[in-house]
Structure 1
Amino acid sequence: MDFTLDPRHDELRLKVREFVDEHILPLESDPANYNEFENIRMSLRDELRQKAKDAGLWAPQMPRERGGLGLPMVGQAVFYEEANRSIFGPSAFNCAAPDDGNMRVLETVGTQAQKDAWLQPIVDGKVNSSFVMTEPHPGGGSDPGMIATRAERDGDAWRIHGHKWFISGAAVARHFILIARTDPNPEEKRRHLSAFLFHADQPGWRIVRRIDNMGPDEHGGVCELEFDGLTIPDENRLMEVGDGLKLTQIRLGPARLTHCMRWLGLAKRCMEIAQEYVSRREGFGIRLADRESVQLKLGEVAHDIQIGRLLVMNAAWKLDQGDRARTEVSSAKIHVADTLHKAVDTALQLNGARGYSKDTILEWVYRYARCARLVDGASEVHKMVLARFYAKEGSDYWKWG
């Protein structure tokens, strides 16, 4: 691939950087700008969103005819990395999870009517959304073959019974994408799932609890849900009966990669904070930046971030060519998740007590970074994916093209 940026994408990159510096970074230092779950207050978020729209920096992943920027994956990689130099950035530009992945899959597989009714309000920033898949044991987590929530046909509708948990954004979402079992045969592992759309106001389901965790929480947290007869009209089924697993694969591949794009931005921000501090902090007659031990730490993180950027760009390019890029996305997910944790751990260590305090965002990022090795498939699952492909392809695993 050619690593020369499209001039339009580079121009957007600079505009995003300027917007983040001017409008978003100054908000991080004021506790009044946060909600009780340590994210930006939604009313303030909505003010930022209007500014982003006015600046032409809205919904980079969506087509222009829907009000987005229509960027390819390579262009999104550039945009998202700059957006997440601030912990508030992705939400301000409408490229934060889980809405980001939900918009993508609805744009890809939805009917025109479904796009108009369910996708457009998310693109416009009028509603939040949620993807409802993960279940407590013995239901499905990383293994979708274990999903137990049932969708049973009832004339022109489906009735849903089951139990889900760790559902991102559910507490504030209005539009939901649900994955449920439509083939009751427990031996069926490929065509056993279907996908459905439902609205928060529909009866037959409830939020059992918002699950407390290390935080900080995205808007809507992670929730436990119970379904006891939710009725969904068949017109709100996504794709064909039995295509639920296919839909999850369509959604999760790009979603994993966009996580990586955002995490690289956060990793770079941690480096900025570390570099600024060691450049002025002195001890025992020498600046920290002049100590070889400090230089080695920062050089190693810079090295790992650049490897992550190359992995992400390679996967993004392959997705733009129509490839599923399964190994490329998994490699990026493993490496960038580890790199984010290393970057913030290094920055926190170099800042000392200042890093451990709330005087910077480092402790916020440190807690957030730990979930990177879990969300959208634990690192171990992605390593298993790589091992399976290698066992199948041998030396061709490293083929070019």
Structure 2
Amino acid sequence: MSGEAYPGVGAEKTAEIVAKVEAFVRDVVIPYEVDPRQDDHGPTDALIVELKGKAREAGVLTPHILPDGQHLSQRETAAVLKASGLSILGPQAVNTAAPDEGNMFLLGKVGSPELKERFLKPLVEGKGRSAFFMTEPADDEGAGSDPSMMKTTCRRDGNHWIISGRKKFITGADGAIVGIIMAKSIEPDSEGGACMFMVDLPDPAIRTTRVLGTMDDSMPGGHAEVEIDDLRVPADQMLGEAGEGFKYAQIRLSPARLSHCMRWYGAGVRAQEIATDYVNRRKAFGKLLIDHEGVGFMLAENLIDLKQAELMIDWCADALDSGSIGTTESSMAKVAVSEALSRVADRCVQVMGGTGVTRDTMVEKFYREIRCFRIYDGPTEVHKWSLAKKIKRDWKHANA
């Protein structure tokens, strides 16, 4: 559970899946980008249900998990998720979006057969959305994104656990049918260990206090603040073992960080395509924009950043496929890829000038979404801090 990798399906089968996903996203999903069923917090569930229905008909729903339950390797998943990311709506349509993809991965790794049947199966079948309740408010000395400071608690009560606390930035909580809740045990023998629980949503003990207004608007349900008030969860709905929640969080978060890199890489590629088409058609000062050195050089730099991001993704995927959790590798990939793709999106806006900041193309939206990627699943600075601590530990070990 803590280290085994999925064997994958091989290069030929992967290429077949990728081709189908890319064709579906380009031919079916991209035209939906102008669909009005999108609000300040993302596409509506009605739009997502329609898109998933089309993906199901096309045979590309949840393409990284095969009908027999076999999971693609991380390297193979990377290729599929890059293709799904060519449209902001692509991951939602083919069921590779966050937080569902990460939640499915964790359930597949840790869940009992009963929990998989009850909670994983409907997610794989695209019958609803899920949410991951870990991050907490950072006010009043709250935990923020540091799970070691978690204030949400759980305690035993007969054959149940009682959970109380507050959560924030919970993507997709509003409208989800499945939740994974992380809480710190206050049982005398727990030593403050964290636990994870599977819950059906909605539940009257879980109340959304507000859905935040944010720069990004691609996630259905948005990002919510939530209060949990004496939620009763049957003991058999604990995910894995009591006190192992922090370990399970790493099992989920390391591949999840990489999955974000995969999806937003696809968006970076698409932004480059749109900008390239624009500068090869638009003229200024007597020649095409692409023939102006300042413009051409920016798109050339984008090619370099995209290739470096791709190589970093594949390197990290290989590290995860080797059987290790890969927290160091995923931190490096998260920093390198998010920063590179942010540069790519910024340059695409710049070379398109006024058009680049309008909503006449998707480039403006790609810019906003990718900018947020530098924050969630750990800001760049947090990952650099973690890597710096590892450098110090390694030095001490080498010089002991």
Task: Report the alpha carbon displacement of residue 299 of structure 1 after superposing the two structures with TM.
Answer: 1.1
Mean Cα deviation higher: 40-49 or 233-242: 40-49
Separation in structure 2 between the aligned mates of residue 219 and residue 86 of structure 1, nearest angstrom: 15
Separation in structure 2 between the aligned mates of residue 38 and residue 234 of structure 1, nearest angstrom: 34
> Which residue pairs with 2:135 in the alignment?
134
Asked if 2 retains the 8 angstrom alpha-carbon contact of 1:142 and 1:381, the reply is no
Structure 2: which amino acid aligns with 1:116? E
1:170 paired to 2:173:
yes
Task: Trace 1:249-398 onto structure 2 (pairs within 5 A).
Answer: 249-394=250-395
1:182 paired to 2:147:
no
> Which residue pairs with 1:11 in the alignment?
16
1:16–1:396 distance in 2 versus 1, CA, 3 Å: farther
> Which residue pairs with 1:216 in the alignment?
217
Separation in structure 2 between the aligned mates of residue 348 and residue 57 of structure 1, nearest angstrom: 31
1:39–1:206 distance in 2 versus 1, CA, 3 Å: closer
Task: Report the alpha carbon displacement of residue 312 of structure 1 after superposing the two structures with TM.
Answer: 0.7
Asked if 1 retains the 8 angstrom alpha-carbon contact of 2:51 and 2:93, the reply is yes
> Which residue pairs with 2:146 in the alignment?
143
Mean Cα deviation higher: 245-254 or 50-59: 50-59
Asked if 2 retains the 8 angstrom alpha-carbon contact of 1:62 and 1:104, the reply is no
Mean Cα deviation higher: 338-347 or 236-245: 338-347
Aligned residues between the structures: 386
Task: Report the alpha carbon displacement of residue 31 of structure 1 after superposing the two structures with TM.
Answer: 4.4
Alignment root-mean-square deviation, CA: 2.0
Separation in structure 1 between the aligned mates of residue 177 and residue 67 of structure 2, nearest angstrom: 24
Separation in structure 2 between the aligned mates of residue 48 and residue 164 of structure 1, nearest angstrom: 30
- Give the gaps of 5 or more residues in structure 2: 1-9
Task: Report the alpha carbon displacement of residue 396 of structure 1 after superposing the two structures with TM.
Answer: 11
Using the size of structure 2 for normalisation, the TM-score is 0.92
> Which residue pairs with 1:26 in the alignment?
31
Mean Cα deviation higher: 306-315 or 361-370: 361-370
Task: Report the alpha carbon displacement of residue 135 of structure 1 after superposing the two structures with TM.
Answer: 0.9
**Higher RCO (CA-CA < 8 Å; seq separation 6+):** 2
Structure 1: which amino acid aligns with 2:277? E
Separation in structure 2 between the aligned mates of residue 38 and residue 105 of structure 1, nearest angstrom: 25
Task: Report the alpha carbon displacement of residue 142 of structure 1 after superposing the two structures with TM.
Answer: 2.9
Asked if 1 retains the 8 angstrom alpha-carbon contact of 2:216 and 2:372, the reply is no
Separation in structure 2 between the aligned mates of residue 217 and residue 87 of structure 1, nearest angstrom: 7
Task: Report the alpha carbon displacement of residue 197 of structure 1 after superposing the two structures with TM.
Answer: 1.3
Asked if 1 retains the 8 angstrom alpha-carbon contact of 2:85 and 2:267, the reply is yes
Separation in structure 2 between the aligned mates of residue 75 and residue 54 of structure 1, nearest angstrom: 22
Q: 2:51 aligns with which of 48, 61, 72?
A: 48
Asked if 1 retains the 8 angstrom alpha-carbon contact of 2:305 and 2:341, the reply is no
Secondary structure of 1:280's partner?
coil
Secondary structure of 2:68's partner?
helix
Secondary structure of 2:38's partner?
coil
Separation in structure 1 between the aligned mates of residue 377 and residue 66 of structure 2, nearest angstrom: 25
Task: Report the alpha carbon displacement of residue 24 of structure 1 after superposing the two structures with TM.
Answer: 1.2
Separation in structure 1 between the aligned mates of residue 292 and residue 397 of structure 2, nearest angstrom: 44
Separation in structure 2 between the aligned mates of residue 292 and residue 239 of structure 1, nearest angstrom: 57
Secondary structure of 1:238's partner?
coil
Separation in structure 1 between the aligned mates of residue 374 and residue 64 of structure 2, nearest angstrom: 24
1:52–1:211 distance in 2 versus 1, CA, 3 Å: same
Separation in structure 1 between the aligned mates of residue 210 and residue 41 of structure 2, nearest angstrom: 18
Task: Report the alpha carbon displacement of residue 387 of structure 1 after superposing the two structures with TM.
Answer: 1.4
Separation in structure 2 between the aligned mates of residue 178 and residue 340 of structure 1, nearest angstrom: 31
Separation in structure 2 between the aligned mates of residue 13 and residue 87 of structure 1, nearest angstrom: 17
Asked if 1 retains the 8 angstrom alpha-carbon contact of 2:81 and 2:91, the reply is yes
Task: Report the alpha carbon displacement of residue 211 of structure 1 after superposing the two structures with TM.
Answer: 1.3
Task: Report the alpha carbon displacement of residue 43 of structure 1 after superposing the two structures with TM.
Answer: 2.3
Structure 2: which amino acid aligns with 1:314? W
Separation in structure 2 between the aligned mates of residue 194 and residue 210 of structure 1, nearest angstrom: 26
Asked if 1 retains the 8 angstrom alpha-carbon contact of 2:91 and 2:97, the reply is yes
Structure 2: which amino acid aligns with 1:51? K
1:153–1:309 distance in 2 versus 1, CA, 3 Å: same
Secondary structure of 2:364's partner?
helix
> Which residue pairs with 1:241 in the alignment?
242
Structure 1: which amino acid aligns with 2:24? F
Please list the CA deviations of residues 259-298 of structure 1 after superposition, one character each: whole Å capped at 9, or x if unmatched. 0001110111110011000001111111111112112111
Task: Report the alpha carbon displacement of residue 8 of structure 1 after superposing the two structures with TM.
Answer: 2.0
1:246–1:35 distance in 2 versus 1, CA, 3 Å: same
Please list the CA deviations of residues 45-84 of structure 1 after superposition, one character each: whole Å capped at 9, or x if unmatched. 2222222223222213324324xx7311111111111111
Asked if 2 retains the 8 angstrom alpha-carbon contact of 1:184 and 1:192, the reply is no
Mean Cα deviation higher: 39-48 or 146-155: 39-48
Mean Cα deviation higher: 89-98 or 119-128: 119-128
Separation in structure 1 between the aligned mates of residue 64 and residue 317 of structure 2, nearest angstrom: 13
Mean Cα deviation higher: 254-263 or 366-375: 366-375
> Which residue pairs with 1:60 in the alignment?
63
Using the size of structure 1 for normalisation, the TM-score is 0.92
Task: Report the alpha carbon displacement of residue 216 of structure 1 after superposing the two structures with TM.
Answer: 1.3
Separation in structure 2 between the aligned mates of residue 372 and residue 177 of structure 1, nearest angstrom: 22
Please list the CA deviations of residues 5-54 of structure 1 after superposition, one character each: whole Å capped at 9, or x if unmatched. 812222222222211221011222x342x322363343232222222223
Q: Percent identity?
A: 38
Asked if 2 retains the 8 angstrom alpha-carbon contact of 1:85 and 1:265, the reply is yes
Mean Cα deviation higher: 18-27 or 80-89: 18-27
Task: Report the alpha carbon displacement of residue 225 of structure 1 after superposing the two structures with TM.
Answer: 0.8
> Which residue pairs with 1:70 in the alignment?
71
Asked if 2 retains the 8 angstrom alpha-carbon contact of 1:39 and 1:88, the reply is no
Task: Report the alpha carbon displacement of residue 148 of structure 1 after superposing the two structures with TM.
Answer: 0.5
Secondary structure of 1:62's partner?
coil
